[in-house]
Amino acid sequence: MARTYEVRTYGCQMNVHDSERLTGLLEDAGYVAVPADEQADVVVFNTCAVRENADNKLYGNLSHLAPVKAANPGMQIAVGGCLAQKDRSTITSKAPYVDVVFGTHNIGSLPVLLERARVMEEAQVEILESLEVFPSTLPTKRDSAYAAWVSVSVGCNNTCTFCIVPSLRGKEKDRRPGEILAEVEALVAEGVSEITLLGQNVNAYGVEFGDRQAFSKLLRACGEIEGLERVRFTSPHPAEFTDDVIEAMAETHNVMPQLHMPLQSGSDKVLKDMRRSYRQAKFLGIIERVRAAMPDAAITTDIIVGFPGETEEDFQATLDVVREARFSSAFTFQYSKRPGTPAATLPDQISPEVVRDRYDRLVALVNEVAWEENKLLVGRQVELMVAEGQGRKDAATNRLSGRGPDNRLVHFTPPAGVEVRPGDMVTVEITYAAPHHLNADGDVIEVRRTRSGDAWQARTSAPAPAGVGLGMPTIGVPAPLPDAPACR
């Protein structure tokens, strides 16, 4: 019988994308996904080194599997991702029952390392210092039939003092535009209608081959691909965000009016200490130009509070930017030390009590602004791409969810007796606004069946009951993840 596998993913969208490659590699090697409520023969942890206490969480999860493996000698455990790249052989010393440790630069080695560990009956640790094969050349198993990540680059050339990603992912390495567009065209041929261009610093794309307008050209080229309805990207960096990208967004019909622009802090002093190569005025200038070109654009962000040396005045500067920028949502974080980052050794570390107080005030303001922005949409008609999965509370009411062009989440009830499939498009009128979602409680105005809906139906191998979607996927689709913004 084929051996079964499970991939457990932590962290940012890049890890989610890597996990799609890992599942593709395992299935290409003959493994099959473990059925629900069964123990897998191979458990793979795709780890993150950015989250607070990431190592404690990993070792806690590994310890839970130790007795399971002891009772099942043929079981294997593999650890990959950023924490594996950082801790290397430490993992096998702390958890000697781990069979394979692999890094961010050699995810393609996993099947070989598993087989080698099984035959040799000893742990295999392989950490490469640089990328040998671009991950997008590897087999992939996507969880969504209609939406896909497309990586344009890996690595990052910035040196932010709070971030360990560049040392784990390496310097930026760009794919050639032809390779990216070929992948997008192949995905569209399979039924995908929404793609998210992915990079650690996506708008710096082209630096490796010397074209500073490569990213805007890529966006425009995506606009020429027939059948591609929606294009998104994440995450850009304010320092390299140029007007040609804004123009390409505004002028390319299928590039969505949505922008994730990490702020981190509104204080020029803190931004300097973070080694962020922009200041408040530049950030707000970008927002102003985006809104001038795309008045309905939804702008989201990342914010850290309590960075070492942050004063109350610095924090107020962050609140001022939130009020002026009018973010539709924000990933908010309390600063905590990350071993291996310059910020961990900075003086004037802020007490947890002060950090928590500032965090609570920030979240309250972010929610207030987001709610006010969402209320402006009440009464508008919006075309949604129907999403996979439905909330537990909505199962009895048959309510479904979808994403608008600006990526806002909208709940709606499909028409009675009408088949609405994930990937199909519905037009609704917004009737209610909450800070984090919208409702469309009236009649659905239009249902448009799509090739993506056909692809979803073909994948499920059975007709979709009227208004019923799949359960949420285990490793996500290109939509905002509640705890996993890009590592920017």
**CA-to-CA dists, residue 33 to 20, 28, 385, angstroms:** 12, 12, 28
Tokens 């009016």 belong to which residue? 257
Token pair 């991939």 in the structure block, residue: 7
Domains of the chain by residue range: 4-126, 142-256, 278-376, 381-460
Provide the 3-class DSSP secondary structure of residue 390.
coil
Q: How high is the pLDDT of residue 244? A: 97
Q: Quote the CA–CA distance of 466 and 456 in Å, as a whole number.
A: 14
Contacts of 376 (CB under 8 A, 6+ apart): none
Predicted local confidence at residue 275, as pLDDT: 95
Which pLDDT band holds residue 165 (cuts at 50, 70, 90)? confident
What percent of the chain is modeled with pLDDT above 70? 91
Mean pLDDT of 431-449: 96
Q: What gap in Å lies between CA 45 and CA 48, rounded to an integer?
A: 10
76 DSSP β-pair partners: 42
Amino acid letter at 213?
A: Q
Torsion of CA 213, 214, 215, 221, to 10 degrees: 110
The CATH number that domain 142-256 falls under is 3.30.750.210
Predicted local distance difference test score (pLDDT) of residue 467: 41
CATH of 4-126, one of 3.40.30.10, 3.40.309.10, 3.40.50.12160, 3.20.20.60: 3.40.50.12160
Angle at 266 between CA 265 and CA 267, to 5 degrees: 95
**pLDDT for the residue 395:** 54
Tell me, what's the pLDDT at 481? 37
Mapped onto helix, strand or coil, the DSSP state of residue 352 is helix
* Per-residue pLDDT at 476: 31
DSSP code at position 414: P
Half-sphere exposure of 11 (CA within 13 A, CB side): 29
Distances, alpha carbon 115 to alpha carbons 43, 79, 121, in Å: 14, 15, 10
**Span 476-488, pLDDT tens digits:** 333 333 344 445 5
Q: Tell me, letter by letter, the H, E, C secondary structure of 418-472.
A: CCCCCCCEEEEECCEECCCCEEECCCCCEEECCHHHHHHHHHHCCCCCCCCCCCC
**What pLDDT does residue 141 have?**
84
Task: State which fold the 381-460 domain adopts.
Answer: OB fold (Dihydrolipoamide Acetyltransferase, E2P) (2.40.50)
Say if 142-256 and 278-376 have the same CATH topology.
yes
Query: Using CB atoms within 10 A of its CB, is residue 162 exposed (0-12), middle (13-18) or buried (19+)?
Result: buried
Answer yes or no: are the C-beta atoms of 274 and 160 closer than 8 Å: yes
Residue 204: pLDDT above 80?
yes
| Tens digit of each residue's pLDDT (9 = 90 or more) over 327-337 | 999 999 999 88
Q: What is the pLDDT of residue 139?
A: 77
264: left (phi over 0), alpha (psi -120 to 50) or beta: left
Q: Residues near 3 by Cβ (< 8 Å), separated by ≥ 6?
A: 30, 31, 32, 41, 42
Please name the residue ranges forming H helices in 330-450: 352-375
The strand pairing partners of 174, in sequence order, are: 153
- Residue 474 pLDDT greater than 50, yes or no: no
Contact at 8 Å (CB) between 137 and 100? no
Distance CA 424, CA 457 (A): 11
CA dihedral of residues 178, 183, 184, 187 (deg, nearest 10): 160
What pLDDT sits at residue 37? 86
Residue type, position 189, single letter: A
Question: Residue 68 above 70 pLDDT?
Answer: yes
C-alpha 142/C-alpha 151 separation (Å) is: 14
**Two structure tokens written together for 376:** 């402006």
Q: Which CATH architecture best describes the domain 278-376?
A: 2-Layer Sandwich (3.30)
Token pair in block for residue 63: 């310890």
Three-class SS of residue 329? strand
Distance, in Å, from the CA atom of 316 to the CA atom of 283, rounded to the nearest integer, reads 16
Closest by alpha carbon to 157, among 176, 174, 136?
174
- Alpha-carbon distance of 310 to 350, in angstroms, equals 7
Omega within 30 of 0 (cis) for the link into 235? yes
pLDDT (mean) for 239-262:
97
Best CA proximity match to 106, nearest among 161, 166, 170: 170
